[in-house]
Structure 1
Amino acid sequence: MYSSIFFAWGLAAITVVVHAVGLALMLRFLDHRGNVLMRQLGAISMRLVWVACYMVLLHLLAISIWGTFYVWQECLPDFETAFYFSGVTYATIGYGDVLLGKPWRLFGLMEGLTGILMCGLSTGVFFAVVNHIYQFIHTKNDDDHQS
């Protein structure tokens, strides 16, 4: 029981680290890209699509880590089933067609809680990116009107 809690907390911590590092790298990349073209609708759309796809990849990486653990511990029969279960649990969809056995049920709870926190973090960062674009456009428009 206690080793299960230790592993569940460990996986949650790994998930948070993956997102923290991934989001930090993404923000650094966006900072270096600059905002030169952020007045064009196509450039804004492409940036938001890129950010969304990058975040989805971060979530898929986290889901893969949990799924790999389930296969390693023989909680689920194969990686496809483990990845499916992990994705449904992480996103808190919870179809219930694949379940963990009694000694592992705590992992589903921990993965769901961690997943919803990471989805919330991604939503917050996505909102910050949109706000940054809006502020850039608003500032540029004010500068153009004052000239």
Structure 2
Amino acid sequence: MHSSIFFVWVLAAITVVVHAVGLAIMLRFLDHRGNVLMTRIGAISTRLVWVACYMVLLHLIAISVWGAFYVWQGCLPDLETAFYFSGVTYATIGYGDVVLAKPWRLFGLMEGLTGILMCGLSTGVFIAVVNQIYQSFPKKIIDQLP
């Protein structure tokens, strides 16, 4: 039991570190790119699509870490099932068609809690990026918006 608690906290910490480092790299990249042409719809759309795809990649890395752990510990029979379970648990979809055995149920709970926190973090950062784009608009363009 104590080793399970240790592993679940390590997995949660790895998930947070993946997102913290990944988002820091992304924000540094965006800061170096500046707001060149951020008044054009194409540039804004490209930036938002890039940010969204990058964040999804961070979530997929975290899901893969949890899934690999489930296979390593023999919690689930194969990699595909482990990644599927990890994905629906992380995103708090929870279909219930794949479940962990009794000694491992705490992992599903913690992955769901960690996943929803990381999704919230990504949402907050995405909103901050949108706000930063909006703040970069020249005043005359803002005045013309409906």
Scaled by the length of structure 1, the TM-score of the pair is 0.94
SS at structure 1 position matched to 2:128: helix
Query: Percent identity at matched positions?
Result: 83
Write out aligned runs for 1:30-45 (5 A). 30-45=30-45
Write out aligned runs for 1:16-27 (5 A). 16-27=16-27
The aligned counterpart of 1:127 is 127
Question: What are the superposed Cα offsets for residues 88-118 of structure 1, whole Å, 9 maximum, x if unpaired?
Answer: 0000000000000010000000000000000
Residue 141 of structure 1 is aligned with which of 130, 139, 142? 139
1:141 deviates by 2.5
Q: Distance in 1 between matches of 2:140 and 2:7?
A: 53
SS at structure 2 position matched to 1:95: coil
The aligned counterpart of 2:107 is 107
Q: Distance in 1 between matches of 2:140 and 2:41?
A: 18
Question: What are the superposed Cα offsets for residues 54-94 of structure 1, whole Å, 9 maximum, x if unpaired?
Answer: 00000000000000000000000111000000000000000
Q: Distance in 1 between matches of 2:46 and 2:140?
A: 24
The aligned counterpart of 1:51 is 51
Q: Distance in 2 between matches of 1:33 and 1:104?
A: 44
Structure 1 unpaired stretches of 5+: none
RMSD: 1.3
Write out aligned runs for 1:72-91 (5 A). 72-91=72-91
The count of aligned residue pairs is: 142
Q: Distance in 1 between matches of 2:16 and 2:84?
A: 20
Q: Distance in 2 between matches of 1:9 and 1:89?
A: 16
Q: Which amino acid is 2:3 matched to?
A: S
1:36 deviates by 1.1
The answer as to 2:118 corresponding to 1:118 is yes
Greater alpha carbon shift after TM alignment, 117-126 vs 27-36: 27-36
1:142 deviates by 5.2
Q: Which amino acid is 1:40 matched to?
A: R
